[in-house]
Amino acid sequence: MIFNLALTAILANKLRAFLTMLGIVIGVTSVILLIALVSGLQTYITNQIQGLGSNLMFVMPGRMGGARSPGGVQANRLVYSDTVNLRTKLGSEAEVSASIQRNATLKFGNKRDKDVSIFGVEANYPEIISIDLTSGRFFKQSEQEASRKVAVIGPTVVVNLFGTGQALGKPIDIAGTKYTVIGITEKKGSVFGMDQDNSVYVPFQTAQRQFGIDRLNTIYISAKLAENVKLVQDKSTAILKKRLSEDEFTIQTQEQTLSTISQITGVLTAALGGIAAISLLVGGIGIMNIMLVSVTERTREIGLRKAVGAKPKDIRNQFLVEAIVLSGLGGIAGIILGITLSFIIGRFFTTTIPWWSILLSFGFSTAVGVIFGVAPAIRASRLNPIEALRSE
Amino acid sequence: MALVKLSRINKTYNTGGIPFHALKNINLEVKKGEFLAIIGASGSGKSTLMNIIGLLDQPTSGIYELDGQNTACLKEGNLANIRSCKIGFVFQSFNLLPRTSALDNVAMPLIYAGVSSEDRHAIAKKALEDVGLGDKLGSHSNQLSGGQQQRVAIARALVNNPEIILADEPTGNLDSKSGDEIIEIFIKLNKAGKTVIIITHEADIAKNAERIIKIKDGEITK
């Protein structure tokens, strides 16, 4: 009954009710959308990293995840001899592979492809990190050691330089040096506008020589046995410590990387969700405003209801339920809109909608209705019936 | 025993520090089944008197006993309960809810009396039929004439089967023909055993009552 009463009152002023609800709708939609985006990002990154193989760990320059100093501040001291050292000492326990990276412009004929990620990697790279080729092959150990100018290119590079034409065996220009295309990788897609397929893999020594780089971006270590991951990590740390100080490198296993990422996305979720929640709060103030107007407009009605036997709590509940119905309907509309938009955006970026984000935003919007509906409802319940009946 | 018994009732308003005596030493008894008219000019205190009888207002001093019960110590919730089951109000300006059907308007007091929704509609329908509006159940107030609106308001006052009907200038907004029809309804209700108290400034209306009380400057003069 009390819900019918609230609906009747809301429907009596459709435009006003709609505008009032809009604040809540926008708030709930943005909460759901932002959470969907962040958790989609987390799911994507997690899948990517898990796809690399669970025995994997990364050696990176600088200190990461520690409280003492932020990463990247110290000069990078990771060099190729560290890779060789690790490979020799770990022996058959693990596969070790060095990697450097630069961005460069590619040319073929009069076609150009700008800002391509050039990865200088070793021949054993595909054994550590899965790279699927659609055609051609990866370079061999002998080609790496001979600093041969061969390249395995991503599908975006193929499209940009060759269109629909044949790429294998063609000479391409990477920052002024000619390379021969020997393989094409499978499509991976993009993360937040970063095209992962706009990349090229070339032999490590070739890249090192051409770009004059001696500092490494990453050393990949893959333990042969899953149960030895921790052991290999400890051994590698000990080996590197002989030459480098503790602050100059970090070894992170895949598991540790995942937990770092989930920490980051957790903070991101809280921050973005918090900002979106502010718009819910603003929506709540809108509801309070309109409920106060409504109480003033319906003073006579309140007086009449009291005269025919309504208790103060009846009047209070009537207006409170009205505010809750307003915010609740706004919440439901926001959930529907948020889910719809998440699906639409999901065609471009990965989005996942955790069930708790729906519960949270609906709960929050209803709570907003209660919190901001209480004051107008109490004001209504306290009106003096005589004065209320006398008002115009 | 008197249904309404007012003893030495005073009502003083303090507006801007100057006390205004709206009612002075009012003694009044209304018996069950009586038809009483309270007549007085505007500002005479007759509306204040009605508000006190209707338990919408409390006297500054004096004792008001309704059906033998002293009303001085009752809390707001109890007063609402008594208004709900013992008193039916009819106002000069009808006070119907806008955008609400006649049936729902009449059924509204039953919500607060705790009547179930099926019963509410049956009772309200009967009350509307009793005032001759059986064919206007679904009409909204803006589709009804003044006289019809006031009849809806009377039906609304009757749904809880109250002891007393309190009517404040019930014909004040009506033409004389509709006004006469409304007064006819009050006479009929009184004949059926209801206590009716009409407040008016028109002697013509008042003469329909069994007893007329004149009020002037907050005092009963006759």
Q: What is the pLDDT of residues A358-376, one digit of tens each?
A: 998 889 889 999 999 999 9
Lowest mean pLDDT among A73-82, B46-55, B202-211: A73-82
B113, closest residue in chain A (CA to CA): A309
CATH number of the domain at B49, please: 3.40.50.300
| Residue-level pLDDT at A64 | 67
Contact A97, A122 (CB under 8 A): yes
Contact B216, B44 (CB under 8 A): yes
Q: Within 10 A of A194 (CB to CB), how many other CB atoms are there?
A: 9
| Residue-level pLDDT at B221 | 87
In whole angstroms, give the CA distance from residue B208 to residue B186: 9
Please list the helix, strand and coil fractions of chain B in percent, rounded to the nearest 5, in that order.
Answer: 35, 30, 35
Chain A residues 272-301 within an 8 A CB cutoff of chain B: 300-301
Q: Do A310 and B80 touch (CB under 8 A)?
A: yes
Compute the average pLDDT of residues B188-194: 93
Structural domain count, chain B: 1
* Residue B51 contacts A, CB cutoff 8 Å: yes
Tokens 């050292």, located at residue: A85
In whole angstroms, give the CA distance from residue B116 to residue A4: 14
Tokens 């770009």, located at residue: A211
A2, closest residue in chain B (CA to CA): B111
Question: How near does any CA of chain B get to the CA of A304, in Å?
Answer: 7
Compute the average pLDDT of residues A293-322: 93
- Note the ipTM here: 0.93
pLDDT tier, B199 (very low <50, low <70, confident <90, very high otherwise): very high
- The residue range of the domain holding B194 is 2-220
**What confidence tens digit (pLDDT) does each residue in A119-172 have?**
999 999 988 887 889 999 999 999 999 999 999 999 999 999 998 889 999 999
* Residue B108 contacts A, CB cutoff 8 Å: yes
Which residue, among A10, A308, A316, would best test binding to B if mutated, counting the most B CBs under 10 Å from its CB?
A308
**What confidence tens digit (pLDDT) does each residue in B143-159 have?**
999 999 999 999 999 99
Q: Do B76 and A8 touch (CB under 8 A)?
A: no
| Residue-level pLDDT at A193 | 63
% of chain B at pLDDT higher than 90: 71
Contacts of A305 in chain B (CB under 8 A): 108, 112
Lowest mean pLDDT among A305-319, B12-26, B28-42: B12-26
Q: Do A308 and B156 touch (CB under 8 A)?
A: yes
* Residue B56 contacts A, CB cutoff 8 Å: yes
| Residue-level pLDDT at A67 | 45
